Amino acid sequence: MLYQSILGVIALYIYTVERGDTLFLIARRFRTTVDLIVAANRLPDPNRLLVGEKLLIPVLGPIRVKVQPSDSLWAISQRFDVSIEVLATANIIRPPYTIFPNQVLVIPIVLPQGMGCIAWVSNRTGRPDIYVRTPQDQRARRITFNLALESSVPAWSPNGNLIAFIGRGNALWIVDPRTLNAVRLIENLQIFTHFDWSPNSTAIAFSRREIVPAIITIEIATGQTQFITEGTEVNYLPDGRRILFESSRTGLSQLYIINADGTGLRQVTRNTEGGVIQSVVLSSDGSRAAYTFPGVSISMVKIVDLATREEFETPAGPLGRDFNPVWSLNGLYLAYNASTEEGPAGLRGIIRVVDANGTFVQDLTDTACFGDQLTWGPNSTRVLYSNCLMVHPQLSVVGFTGLPIQITSLGGNENPDWTSVNCPPV
């Protein structure tokens, strides 16, 4: 029986080698070929597998394309986001990879099904830009042109119409993925500036780090800015009239809530230790916030109830360096990237899931890139992340059941965001 992916169909799996495994047994289990597994993983010695080693498993599927007169194997590999080596192996084509018009090629990936639209940063053309695609379509659409940075973190507006990111000129940009129209809102920010969309998608709040960090809002339509207060790590509450943020105005890093007009300041956390609250994220109903503390060398994820001010600790990862918490859309789960030393390339991340009280639920995978961004899918059952199994990070999906699935192959791909709104047509 074929392994079924968490997205409902067969795909490119990430498999962990177990004791007694051989490539032949793994290939037979997944109904694929040894040659395809070797090509996907560039194995130096196919006869030597290590227990715990991660392998990419391409599975031959029903996707077939007829070669057009202008096609090349490289062009088809780019179109379907699969390496030319894997595509050639699947079709028994050897260098120089000659193909002919009307030849039928099999694509060695069955596209996963899923709702919504994914945005992320990719350097597949040699420099970083923002791309979008649906989970079930391997074809990615480039929507910016020489505007993004390697550090850009695209963020969908709540209505799914626009994407904001920090890009060229250290500026805050917005882009319409349908028209490809990009607008520079404000310049001279730090490349890791934290920002947040207003619930009605008409404004963005961000922190400008000067001598004293300032929280500012900017209207999308007019570009009008408004200073709110001193602080960082800004998040709109669901009513759009209040803002959650971090400030060290009393000497210690704390979370506060303030009205969007700068009135009604209220302290939320009761921190008594040195350090800095970072990576603040708000649950969809605005009842709880998660954040990391106290720094980078030691970083724990904490949760605070905004009404009662009660705080909850989460189980630390193996190294006590946990990053980038993100709430599921239904508010039931919090996922974060817990660092681990496991892996031939050094540090990797465990995707750890806890409930709203910080109680451990499940470790989904240990294949995440160290400290990288995560995002939940619209149905709150799976997480999109970047794996670092090869030279370049690749987008992957993992859920509470099933194996992780890699969904990109070309260049480096990371910092994803996932909206429930459908993608524009390619």
- Per the structure, the count of domains in the chain is 1
Condensed to tens digits (0 to 9), the pLDDT of residues 217-248 reads: 999 999 999 999 999 999 999 999 999 999 99
Q: Is residue 50 part of a domain?
A: yes
pTM: 0.86
Total Cβ atoms within 10 A of residue 133:
21
Q: How much of the chain, in percent, has pLDDT values that exceed 90?
A: 71
Q: Is residue 74 part of a domain?
A: yes
* Range name among 11-20, 89-98, 179-188 with the lowest pLDDT average: 11-20
| Mean pLDDT score of the chain | 90
- Give the span between the Cα atoms of 89 and 33, in whole angstroms: 10
- Give the span between the Cα atoms of 34 and 29, in whole angstroms: 11
Q: Is residue 26 part of a domain?
A: yes
Residue written as tokens 């260049």? Answer: 411
Nearest to 112 by CA among 177, 63, 54, 163: 63
Q: Is residue 100 part of a domain?
A: yes
Q: SS3 for 79? A: helix
Asked if 354 and 344 count as a contact pair (C-beta separation under 8 A), the reply is no
Residue-level pLDDT at 1 = 28
**Which structural domain, as residue segments, surrounds residue 92?**
13-106
Condensed to tens digits (0 to 9), the pLDDT of residues 129-180 reads: 999 998 877 778 999 999 999 999 999 999 999 999 999 999 999 999 999 9
Condensed to tens digits (0 to 9), the pLDDT of residues 287-315 reads: 999 999 998 789 999 999 999 999 999 99
Task: Give the domain CATH number at 79.
Answer: 3.10.350.10
